[in-house]
């Protein structure tokens, strides 16, 4: 038997005691974690937890395992949204298939939950756009997915939005660049699969009645084409506007999570022609800023929201104390006096349903909502209590994070 692991080796070492020489389907339930099936899957997939971290194990032929291991590793290095791979186990006894080990994507939600819950605040079109953004990002990086489906995508709440992650790269191919035909083929495969998955939910009585599987699936190619065009098109504008228009375009790309590589501006008789070499950005400015100020690691939109709250807390402190408060001081006080009390108020039975930063964001939203209704500011304490009683319990526990992540010492802190 042989293991190939990406660093850090200490993380991999914690998995070595598992019964790698037996078929995954026969592993004793005591070593496995009960994570509900979230989509259509071809292989035996099981979950294990060690030292507070959760891993997904997939039994798959060695050649496919090696390829998926290599590709997922590349995706991660390139900042593409995908699950993170830890390693593979090959040369198992009796010619058994290999096992691919990925890190469980914490706080991810299945499409089943997102499409079936009538209370879900994410609209169908938002879900579809999230998937389309993922596909465009992959295509810009020369990745042909070959199996884009809802089952192979995990969705993570990020403030008001969602981010989609690729979970299954078994059929993926990496090219220096994708031809139009390949992109179209990939989109067509996605359309078929998404349609079939939604029909399946509908047959099972799990689809919200206002959603039409065919309409949703058919909208996918159009939305893809619109986004692809928007991020790759050439623009021509008046010379006296060029400075502002270039800045505007780059800003817009950044907001969508894309970055500009080379920017080419050519002056022609019609005006300035702008061509941007759009790349996938690890959306990061707000994340880095929040990490620097508070040590919190969260997603980009969550970070933007939290930073706004840090800023307003600072303004409030300055007003109260009648003197300037340095940013770092304000951030630490915000963390201790505002953020941590909210996170610590989450009762154990509700912990782990959403990332702490997402809970914080939702409490702020809820406060705004209650204040609007009441015609006055209800305050964070009341909003928090109401949110914990009425809103957070609506997020099903096992759809998001295996309970072990929420246990003390787990990775959810």
Ligand X SMILES: Nc1ncnc2c1ncn2[C@@H]1O[C@H](COP(=O)(O)OP(=O)(O)O)[C@@H](O)[C@H]1O
What are the residues binding Mg ion (CB under 5 A)? 152, 168
Taking CB under 6 A as the criterion, which residues in 25-64 touch ligand X? 38-39, 41-43, 45, 56, 58
109 contributes a contact to ligand X by CB under 6 A: no
CB 349 within 8 A of CB 406: no
DSSP-derived letter for residue 8 is P
Indicate the SS3 state at residue 236. Answer: strand
Q: What is the DSSP string of 241-270?
A: GHHHHHHHHHHHHHHTTEEEEEEEEEEETT
Q: Least separation, in Å, of the C-beta of 227 and Mg ion?
A: 24
Binding site partner of 201, from Mg ion, ligand X, none, Cβ cut-off 5-8 A by kind: none
104 contributes a contact to ligand X by CB under 6 A: yes
Question: Which of 63, 179 has the CB closer to Mg ion?
Answer: 63
Mask: binding to ligand X, 130-169, rule CB under 6 A, as x and -?
---------------------xx-x------------xx-
Q: Least separation, in Å, of the C-beta of 187 and ligand X?
A: 19
Q: Least separation, in Å, of the C-beta of 119 and ligand X?
A: 22
Q: Least separation, in Å, of the C-beta of 28 and ligand X?
A: 20
CB 136 within 8 A of CB 231: yes
Nearest-angstrom CA–CA distance, 45 and 214 = 29
Nearest-angstrom CA–CA distance, 169 and 60 = 12
Which positions ≥6 away from 270 have C-beta within 8 Å?
A: 236
296 contributes a contact to ligand X by CB under 6 A: no
Buried b (16+ CB within 10 A) or exposed e, 106-121: bbbbbbbbbbbbeebe
In terms of C-beta density within 10 A (0-12 exposed, 13-18 middle, 19 or more buried), how is residue 220 classed? buried
Q: Least separation, in Å, of the C-beta of 76 and ligand X?
A: 12
Can you tell me which of 83, 190, 298, 406 binds ligand X, judged by CB under 6 A?
83
Question: Which of 97, 391 has the CB closer to Mg ion?
Answer: 97
Q: Which residue sits closest to Mg ion, CB atoms considered?
A: 168
Binding site for ligand X (CB under 6 A): 38-39, 41-43, 45, 56, 58, 83, 102-105, 108, 151-152, 154, 167-168, 170
């Amino acid at each position: 038997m042989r293991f190939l692991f990406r660093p850090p080796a200490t993380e991999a070492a914690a998995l070595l005691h598992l019964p790698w020489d037996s078929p995954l389907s026969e592993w004793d339930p005591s070593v496995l974690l009960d994570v509900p099936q979230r989509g259509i899957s071809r292989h035996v997939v099981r979950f294990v937890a060690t030292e507070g971290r959760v891993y997904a194990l997939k039994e798959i032929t060695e050649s496919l395992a090696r390829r998926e291991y290599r590709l997922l590793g590349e995706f991660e290095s390139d900042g593409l949204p995908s699950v993170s791979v830890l390693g593979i186990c090959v040369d198992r006894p009796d010619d058994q298939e290999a096992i691919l080990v990925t890190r469980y994507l914490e706080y991810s939600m299945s499409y089943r939950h997102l499409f079936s819950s009538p209370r879900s605040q994410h609209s169908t079109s938002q879900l579809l756009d999230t998937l389309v953004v993922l596909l465009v990002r992959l295509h810009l990086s020369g990745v042909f997915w070959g199996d884009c489906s809802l089952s192979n995508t995990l969705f993570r709440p990020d403030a008001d939005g969602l981010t989609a992650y690729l979970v299954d790269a078994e059929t993926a191919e990496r090219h220096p660049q994708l031809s139009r035909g390949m992109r179209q083929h990939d989109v067509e495969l996605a359309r078929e699969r998404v349609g079939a998955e939604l029909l399946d939910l509908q047959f099972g009585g799990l689809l919200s009645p206002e959603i039409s599987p065919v309409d949703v699936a058919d909208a996918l190619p159009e939305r893809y084409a619109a986004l692809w065009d928007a991020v790759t098109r050439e623009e021509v504008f008046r010379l006296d506007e060029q400075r502002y228009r270039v800045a505007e375009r780059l800003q817009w790309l950044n907001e969508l999570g894309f970055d500009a590589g080379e920017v080419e501006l050519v002056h022609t008789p019609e005006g300035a022609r702008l061509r941007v070499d759009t790349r996938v950005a690890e959306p990061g400015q707000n994340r880095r800023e929040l990490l620097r100020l508070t040590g919190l690691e969260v997603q980009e939109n969550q970070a933007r929201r939290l930073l706004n709250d840090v800023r307003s807390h600072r303004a409030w402190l300055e007003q109260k104390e009648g003197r300037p408060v340095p940013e770092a001081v304000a951030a630490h006080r915000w963390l201790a006096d505002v953020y941590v009390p909210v996170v610590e108020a989450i009762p154990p039975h509700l912990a782990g349903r959403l990332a702490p930063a997402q809970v914080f964001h939702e409490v702020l939203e809820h406060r705004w909502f209650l204040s609007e209704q009441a015609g006055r500011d209800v305050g964070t304490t009341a909003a928090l209590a109401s949110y914990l009683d009425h809103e957070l319990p609506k997020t099903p526990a096992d759809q998001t994070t295996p309970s072990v992540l929420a246990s003390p010492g787990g990775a959810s802190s």
